[in-house]
Amino acid sequence: MSSLFLTDDGVDLALRGFARVHPQVSLHADPTYATTNDRHPNRRVGLVSGGGSGHEPLHVGMVGRGLLDAAVPGRIFASPHNRQVLEASRRVAGPEGVLHIVKNYTGDRINFGIAAERLRDEGIAVQRVLVDDDIATENAQTATGRRGTAGTVIVEKVLGAAADEGHGLDDLVEVGADVARRSRSVAVARRAQTTLSGGPAFTLADDELEYGVGIHGERAAETIPRPPLDVLVGRMLDDLLQRHEEQRGVVLLVNGLGATTQLELLTIAELAAEHLGSRRVRLLDVLVGTFVPALDMSGFSLTTSAMTSDQLHYWRAEADAPGWPRRPR
Amino acid sequence: MSSLFLTDDGVDLALRGFARVHPQVSLHADPTYATTNDRHPNRRVGLVSGGGSGHEPLHVGMVGRGLLDAAVPGRIFASPHNRQVLEASRRVAGPEGVLHIVKNYTGDRINFGIAAERLRDEGIAVQRVLVDDDIATENAQTATGRRGTAGTVIVEKVLGAAADEGHGLDDLVEVGADVARRSRSVAVARRAQTTLSGGPAFTLADDELEYGVGIHGERAAETIPRPPLDVLVGRMLDDLLQRHEEQRGVVLLVNGLGATTQLELLTIAELAAEHLGSRRVRLLDVLVGTFVPALDMSGFSLTTSAMTSDQLHYWRAEADAPGWPRRPR
């Protein structure tokens, strides 16, 4: 089956390419992790995230000024090893320690957890913010709970700006947990990603849509007849808005899952803005792009984040990382 | 057949979304065109480009500081109307007139040409730089000659910086024509883009590759058995390098055609850098991303540009547009 344009050591070569293209990020080998060369002098806490590869620019692309101090990439769709997390955390720990930003998957929780225990043994303070924004997995049969998806970008951005203002570990945990709690996502796919061995991870009929798909091609609870785009976007927003305690205003993230064009994402953003207006929900800001894809899946996610004014201030702060877009000044 | 996430008025809604997300660009209606709100005070010539939609961020995303003054988007894969070109050119013409950057397609040449005649009738100086970088169409049966593809990004960037230094129209034509002449591209696809009516524009067997594909899904002269990625990248570079009169050093653009992941593009960039090294060709700079896609085609292009040192200076100058990436400082 027709496979991706990758070599057998896919991720390693891509990371070397990343380091070549983005010299403002340092790539460390054995174990593999990336750190910023542009750390704000006010930071007292190192921010570390990571997870499986195949979701680029997350996580390595979010290393930079106003964002992460370090990121640890696993193999494709696989958790990083705890030794990667440990070494990255040691390297970027501030005087008040390290904060781990972890997407809610069993492997990531375990590996970040093992590293955290070892760091504490060494006298380094460590805390965790768990990102669990995907509402499609709220009622999953597993005990894991909601998975972490595109909301990770929001949590990383808000925490990055808060860390640059010199907040300590406890403050950051509070900010991060709160903005994570205020952020919810849902994703749809019209075509699965290509697997590493080639061919699509699952098949859908032409008139079908996977509603609530995961970022690794986890099948959703629902395969639905494909509605008109306007109706689809309205349904997704309704599903999201009813999860928010407050919904007077939201930041909206329109995220491509890989093979979705800018034309499509911008169309979706405009439809979503119109829907929010008709529901009297204020659109505080909107970010459109491919930030947390599932390799080359054709689909998109919507994330709404009912930020506080402090969180919005952090969200809007200047940042500079390979995967962070240019924002209006 | 499973179609894209677009509405019937696809491009119009996407452009409204673009204007919402990027307020630093002004969108004009009837006829449709986009202009920058951030024009360098030294500019004496307005830079205008455009072409069919479906290649975003080209062209509208390249409107901004250090790049285009205006862009005119056509319908998907269709030339803009000459009235769009005319109005955009009138609006951004400088004291020394307007320079049109035109990809070499019949429709674009005709429509930019009609607008240019009318502008000249009004006393506005107009010249054109034609971009014709695609080596796969060198021997095409048509009289059109090489098509314009990803090299357009290079021409727009170099001309944008040159215009900001206050060069006049004749100088800019010379710089643009020379960097266009020094830039060559070739593209491959493992899967066609989705058509507007749904389904792939053409089909390939799993072990096949379209070598020399166009950015509208034009079939290539060759459908080849898919080689290992390293071999493929080497062949593409060899085909490009033999077209350059000078090949001591090149700027490399690794461009995704739509559905190609960052992991893949970075892997390709690293392989290309190694190939260039082994051929003793200096890699002056490398840019990696999705800049000139063919909707959601799965594939990539390589562009090599054997720039002069002046052109490299313009290429490296700061720029700020929605589709221009963050570069290392």
The alpha-carbon gap from B90 to the nearest alpha carbon of chain A, in Å, equals 26
**B22, B55, B100, B275: the active-site residue:** B55
B100 a catalytic residue: no
The Cα–Cα gap between B192 and B160 comes to 32
Q: Name the token pair of B169.
A: 């129209």
What tens digit of pLDDT does each residue of B247-263 get? 789 999 999 999 999 99
Q: Which of A148, A140, A218 is nearest to A181 (CA)?
A: A148
Is residue A55 within 8 A of residue A292, CB to CB? The reply is yes
- Enumerate residues 6+ apart whose C-beta is below 8 A from A251: A154, A284, A285, A286, A287, A304, A305, A307, A312, A315
Q: Do A6 and B264 touch (CB under 8 A)?
A: yes
- Note the pLDDT of residue A228: 96
* Domains present along chain A, CATH in parentheses: 10-181 (3.40.50.10440), 185-306 (3.30.1180.20)
Chain A contact for B255 (CB, 8 A cutoff): no
Identify all chain A residues contacting B258, using CB atoms and an 8 Å cutoff: 259, 261
* Phi, psi angle pair for B255, to nearest 5°: -115, 125
Q: Do B54 and A271 touch (CB under 8 A)?
A: no
Q: What is the pLDDT confidence band of residue A68, given thresholds at 50, 70 and 90? A: very high
B22 a catalytic residue: no
* Phi, psi angle pair for B9, to nearest 5°: -95, 30
The alpha-carbon gap from A104 to the nearest alpha carbon of chain B, in Å, equals 23
- Note the pLDDT of residue A117: 98
Helix axis angle for A262-278 and B10-21, nearest 10°, is: 80
Residue of A nearest to B300 (CA): A5
Residue burial A67-84, b: 16+ Cβ < 10 Å; e: rest:
bbbbbbbbbbbbbbbbbb
Q: Which of B236, B85, B231, B248 is nearest to B150 (CA)?
A: B236
- Note the pLDDT of residue B140: 60
What tens digit of pLDDT does each residue of B145-187 get? 899 999 999 999 999 999 999 999 999 999 999 999 999 999 9
**Arithmetic mean of pLDDT over chain B:** 95
The Cα–Cα gap between A64 and A324 comes to 9
Q: What is the pLDDT confidence band of residue A140, given thresholds at 50, 70 and 90? A: low
Smallest Cβ–Cβ distance between A190 and the set B2, B23, B228 belongs to B2
Residue of A nearest to B263 (CA): A14
Q: What share of chain B is helix, strand, coil (3-state, %, to 5)?
A: 35, 25, 40
Q: What is the pLDDT confidence band of residue B329, given thresholds at 50, 70 and 90? A: low
**B59, B167, B216, B275: the active-site residue:** B216
Q: What is the mean pLDDT of residues B176-205?
A: 95
Distances (CA, A) of B40 to A58, B18, B160, B174: 34, 22, 10, 21
- Note the pLDDT of residue A10: 75
Strands B46-53, B33-36: pairing is: unpaired
What tens digit of pLDDT does each residue of B81-101 get? 999 999 999 999 999 999 999
Q: Name the token pair of B70.
A: 């205006």
Q: Which residue has the tokens 């379209």?
A: B210
Indicate if the pLDDT at residue A95 is higher than 70: yes
ipTM for this prediction: 0.97
The alpha-carbon gap from B322 to the nearest alpha carbon of chain A, in Å, equals 6
